[in-house]
Amino acid sequence: MTATYLFLPPGDGPWRWARVRDGALAEGEGLPPDIERVVAVVPADAVALHWADLPARSSAQAAAAARLLAAEASAAPASELHVAVGEPGAGGERPIGVAEAGSVRLWLERLARAGIDPDALVPAPMLLPDPGEEWVRAELGGQGIARGPGAGFADEPRLTELMTGGAVPRTLDRGALADALGAAPTLDLRQGPFARRRRVGIDWRLVRRLGWLAAATLIVTVLTDVARLVRYDLGADVIDARADAAARAGLPRGQTVTDADRQLAERLRQLRGPGQGFSASAAAAAAAVRGVPGTELTSLAFQPDGTLRLGVAADREAAPTDLRAAMRRQGLAVDAGTFASAGGRVTGEFTVRPR
Helices of type H across 165-203 = 174-182
For the chain, which residues make up each domain, given as ranges? 4-194, 201-272, 273-354
Please, what CATH class does the domain formed by 4-194 belong to? alpha beta
**Per-residue model confidence (pLDDT) at position 275:** 57
Highest mean pLDDT among 120-124, 204-208, 228-232: 120-124
Asked whether the beta carbons of 152 and 89 are under 8 A apart, the reply is no
State mean pLDDT over 325-352.
86
Please, what CATH class does the domain formed by 273-354 belong to? alpha beta
Chain centre distance of CA 260: 53
Q: Give the separation between CA 180 and CA 197, rounded to whole angstroms.
A: 27
**Per-residue model confidence (pLDDT) at position 68:** 82
Name the residue among 306, 298, 339, 335 with its Cα closest to residue 320: 339
* Residue 106 in this model has a pLDDT that exceeds 90: yes
Q: How confident is the model at residue 55 (pLDDT cuts 50, 70, 90)?
A: low
**Per-residue model confidence (pLDDT) at position 219:** 92
Q: How confident is the model at residue 108 (pLDDT cuts 50, 70, 90)?
A: very high
**Per-residue model confidence (pLDDT) at position 109:** 92
State mean pLDDT over 264-276.
61
**Per-residue model confidence (pLDDT) at position 338:** 83
**Per-residue model confidence (pLDDT) at position 217:** 92
Summarize pLDDT for 283-310 with one digit per residue, the tens.
888 888 888 888 888 888 887 777 888 8
pTM (two decimals): 0.53
What is the distance between the terminal CA atoms of the chain, rounded to a whole angstrom?
Answer: 105
Helix (H) / strand (E) containing 220: helix 204-250
